[in-house]
Amino acid sequence: MTDRSIDLNADLGEAYGPWAMGDDDAMLSLVSSANVACGGHAGDPETMFRTLSTAAQRGVVVGAHPGYADREGFGRRIIPMTPGEIGRMVAAQIGALQAVAALVPIEVRYVKLHGALGNLAARDADVSAAVVDAVQHLGEELAILSISGTSLERVARAAGAPIFSEIFADRGYQPSGQLVPRDQPGAMIHDPREATDRLLGFLESGLMPVVGGDPIALDAHSICVHGDSGGAVAMARMIRDELVTAGMSPAAFMHTTS
């Protein structure tokens, strides 16, 4: 495991008004890509601007992080919507972030779905198709960052959309390749050492341990550490340090253009 690079990303910009969430400043000194909330599950224009500005200063690539417009549930509940409605919601949120990004300026390079919406698109081909169509209408160069081995990845690839695969350092997996729901045992990995060791094992073997089954093969262009957990900074720092020690160079899967 030498002379390789891989992206390290986090979900950031998830504050809202006076309500704080996570330590974005610290995380932006550790990650190479930042998934910025677009005002749906979290975020507002000022939070977007601050997060995007700091990312630009640090040379961190940014992506849009749209989710259900459900601040009370932090985007972790499915809101009944048709695939078409989901596509239009996603387009509107990406557009909002792109508009704020133009003021920095920094370019939004990719899209990663948040929470319940991301999990739904991971298993529902119609939702995946609506999301891919919306993203493609916003620009041919706008990539999609998808949970590895799921419906969104397959649909995007079939549509010829730029698609990259993501694994999670701090989330448990099911044998299907989907994430363990947060209300079930094994959903979250809170110990930085445990998460780092599992990640290094995966990068060495290509096999991800799962709850209730044999390890599964997954692709990985990017590693996510959730920015909203109390130990996010410590976990991201340990993972980054261990990747470097193992000969892995943290680098964004998309390049900065501004």
Q: Which domains does the chain have, with CATH numbers?
A: 4-250 (3.20.20.370)
Q: Are strands 207-210 and 213-217 parallel, antiparallel or unpaired?
A: antiparallel
**pLDDT score at 258:** 43
How far from each other are the two terminal CA atoms of the chain, in whole angstroms? 32
Global pTM value: 0.94
Using the Cα atoms of residue 27, residue 29, residue 34 and residue 36 in order, give the sign of their dihedral. positive
Helices (H) and strands (E) in the chain, counts: 8, 10
Q: Are strands 33-37 and 61-65 parallel, antiparallel or unpaired?
A: parallel
Distance CA 20, CA 40 (A): 16
Tens-digit pLDDT profile for residues 116-165: 999 999 999 999 999 999 999 999 899 999 999 999 999 999 999 999 99
Token couple for 256: 């900065």
Of 19-23, 105-109, 232-236, which one has max mean pLDDT? Answer: 105-109
Mean pLDDT of 221-225: 94
Tens-digit pLDDT profile for residues 76-122: 999 999 999 999 999 999 999 999 999 999 999 999 999 999 999 99
Using the Cα atoms of residue 73, residue 77, residue 82 and residue 83 in order, give the sign of their dihedral. positive
Token couple for 196: 């780092």
**pLDDT score at 140:** 86
**Average pLDDT along the chain:** 93
Residue 214 has pLDDT above 90, yes or no: yes
Tens-digit pLDDT profile for residues 32-52: 999 999 999 999 999 999 999
Q: Assess contact for 22 and 227: CB atoms under 8 A.
A: yes
**What distances in angstroms separate CA 242 from CA 31, 70, 139, 171, 206, one per listed residue?**
14, 36, 36, 18, 17
Token couple for 89: 């919601």
Give 21's DSSP letter.
-
